[in-house]
């Protein structure tokens, strides 16, 4: 797994690339914790290259969501592949997270 991040307007865009599972979840958690230390409250997860997510992956995403909400911020996911979205759907996480088709939608959602 690889994680890249960049600033876009007032949001930090996080690209999650590859598998997010038991093995890689701690690494994601560590990077997220560092990014959360900054002033930014608005995060956008680019899931276009996220090939697989396990329950461990769901847990760390859920943690991210909870932490951001505690800070009073926003967390939006976009570009999710069908197989990954299926996992979200199974556990109803599609109702929990803000999931949009693309970055444009994500930025628009933030503007609302």
Partner 1 sequence: MLKNRSLRFKLSAFILTGTILVAAVLVSYYYSVSRRLILESARKNARHLTMETVNSIENVFRSAAKIPENLAYVLETGMSDEKGLYRLMETVVKNNSEVFGSSIAFEPGAFFPGQDRFSPYFFKDGDRIVQSNLDDPGYNYHLQDWYQIPKELNLPVWSEPYFDEGGGNIIMATYSVPFRWLNDGMNKNKFRGILTIDISLVWLKQVFEGLSIYDNGYGFLLSQSGKYLVHPDPDNIMNASIFDIAELHQDEKIRELGRKMVRGQTGFVNIIEPVTGREVYLCFAPFPSSGYSMGIVIPAKELFADLSHLNRSVAMIGVLGLLALFGVISLISGRITKPIRRLSEATSQIGQGDFNAVLPVIDSHDEIGQLMRSFQKMQTALAEYIENLKVATAAKEKIEGELRIAHDIQMGIIPKTFPPFPDRNDVDIYGILESAKAVGGDLYDFFLLDEDHLGAAIGDVSGKGIPASLFMAVTRTLLRAKSMNMKDISPGKIVTSMDTDLCTENDAGMFVTFFFIILNLKTGELEYCNAGHNPPFILDETGEITALDTVHGFPLGVMEAEPYQTGKVKIRPGARIVLYTDGVTEAENEARELFEEERLLVTLKKMKDIKDPKEITLSIKSAVKGFTLEAEQSDDLTMLVITYLGRNFNQE
Examine residue 96 and tell whether it contacts partner 1 (CB under 8 A): yes
Q: From the CB of residue 30, how many other CB atoms can be counted at a distance below 10 Å?
A: 11
Examine residue 62 and tell whether it contacts partner 1 (CB under 8 A): yes
β-pairing verdict for 42-46 and 98-100: unpaired
CB of 7 to partner 1, least distance (A): 26
Question: Which residue stretch of 36-44, 48-56, 74-82, 101-109 sits at the interface with partner 1 (rule: CB under 8 A)?
Answer: 48-56
Examine residue 92 and tell whether it contacts partner 1 (CB under 8 A): yes
Size of the site for partner 1 (CB under 8 A): 23
Which of 100, 90, 84, 29 has its CA nearest to residue 61?
A: 29
- The CA-CA-CA angle for residues 75, 76, 81, to 5°, reads 135
Question: Which residue stretch of 9-17, 42-50, 72-80, 82-90 sits at the interface with partner 1 (rule: CB under 8 A)?
Answer: 82-90
């Amino acid at each position: 797994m690889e994680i890249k991040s960049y600033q876009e307007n007032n949001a930090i865009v996080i690209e999650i690339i590859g598998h997010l599972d038991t093995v890689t979840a701690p690494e994601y958690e560590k990077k997220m914790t560092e990014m959360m230390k900054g002033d930014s409250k608005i995060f956008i997860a680019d899931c276009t290259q996220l090939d697989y997510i396990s329950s461990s992956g769901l847990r760390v995403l859920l943690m991210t969501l909870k932490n951001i909400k505690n800070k009073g911020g926003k967390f939006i996911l976009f570009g999710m592949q069908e197989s990954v979205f299926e996992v979200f759907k199974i556990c109803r996480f599609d109702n929990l997270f803000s999931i949009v088709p693309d970055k444009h939608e994500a930025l628009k959602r933030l503007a609302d």
